[in-house]
Amino acid sequence: MNVSSPVSLYVHIPFCSRRCRYCAFASEPMDLHDPKPVIDALIQEAARYDLGSTIQTIYIGGGSPTSLPEKLLFGLIEYLAYICYDVSEFTVEANPGQVNEPILKSLYSLGVNRLSIGVQSFNWKELELLGRQHTAVDVAKSVYAARTVGFTNISLDLISAIPESGIKDFEHSLLCATDLDVEHISVYSLSYEDGTSMKEMLDSGRIQAVDEETDRAMYEMAIEVLEQAGLRQYEISNFAVPGLECAHNLTYWANRSWIGVGPSAASWYQGKRTVNVADVRDYVRRIQEGNDPTLEVQNPTLLERACETAVLNLRRRVGIDLSEFQQQTGFDALNLFAESIQNHVSNGFLEITDKSVRLTCKALPIADQILCDFSTL
């Protein structure tokens, strides 16, 4: 597959019912906007591409797709399912408390076959601190309702290292998540992004970040508990029943082409990385006037592409597949990164097999530091 054939489509819904305290995603409160012109613009932007049979995965994220009025959300899904007729994985992000059995039934009947549910925690104090609007019971109800209507591929997102909480609190969330017997779980450590209320709370001393040692212990616990529950770690932060890894995200980690539509959506298509304007009104205006919604364009060199591919591939537990890398980038990974590979093999952070280079278990908690060494040459 070359870079000019997109395999995945990402659709960004820029609305949420209310902002969570830690969130830096491009999303605005729904009550400040009329969502209809935005969804119309998204549809017009998608229609500019010849998506047809090349798109294998669709992911509607945001923001909160399920904060949209049902008619708009269903209309968008129906349109996408119509123009992309060979899709094997169609994911919609759902917030617990915003979906019920009739809504899920409609999503399923329109072709959505994977749900990604934003759980974050099963502890009410943590949910309150994060500014989430749902309870642990809402999560269970959403999963049961999704099963009832036929979903067989459900993912839950969890956050570790939430301030004021300890390892037992996190274990509770992990165990509640595995009790729901879902096919996929993602675990990300809380990060304090500029401009979020969580960062302000941290800077003003109202909360304290979890210390590095506890953060690491939580990560190691996640690997142990989730693997024991039959969810195999296939990426630094992602775990799945074998065979049900998120195909859409695997596109990103393989550095294959995708198209993103909507305000702030990024694309990697025809050798260019582009990012759409984030401002919702500006985005709609540009589309309505027939103009390009793109704000930034980068044309990475072949060497830059090879570095990006290595960093993304190393996030996967399978690591860099040497022949796939050579075919995709034209470079021999073992030669191109000889110095970094040698250093990290000797300190036990990388291993080389006959087909691949990958992170060792020891490297996983400090993966970001190791990946930095592959980001430039």
Residues near ligand SF4, by CB under 6 A: 16, 19-20, 23, 25, 27, 62-64, 95, 118
Is 134 or 305 the residue whose CB approaches ligand SF4 more closely?
134
Is 6 or 63 the residue whose CB approaches ligand SF4 more closely?
63
Is 29 or 166 the residue whose CB approaches ligand SF4 more closely?
29
* Cα–Cα distance for residue pair 256/249, rounded to 1 Å: 10
Is 118 or 293 the residue whose CB approaches ligand SF4 more closely?
118
Nearest distance, CB of residue 335 and ligand SF4, angstroms = 42
- E-strand stretches of 76-173: 89-94, 114-120, 154-160
* Partners of residue 239 on adjacent β-strands: 185, 233
Is 27 or 186 the residue whose CB approaches ligand SF4 more closely?
27
* Angle, CA 199 vertex, CA 169 and CA 160 arms, to 5°: 25
Residue 75 structure tokens: 């209309």
Nearest distance, CB of residue 174 and ligand SF4, angstroms = 20
Nearest distance, CB of residue 95 and ligand SF4, angstroms = 6
Is 119 or 244 the residue whose CB approaches ligand SF4 more closely?
119
* Cα–Cα distance for residue pair 343/295, rounded to 1 Å: 39
Rounded to 10 degrees, the C-alpha dihedral 185/191/195/200 comes to: 120
Rounded to 10 degrees, the C-alpha dihedral 336/338/343/346 comes to: 130
Nearest distance, CB of residue 14 and ligand SF4, angstroms = 9
Nearest distance, CB of residue 180 and ligand SF4, angstroms = 20
3-state SS assignment for residue 219: helix
Nearest distance, CB of residue 36 and ligand SF4, angstroms = 20
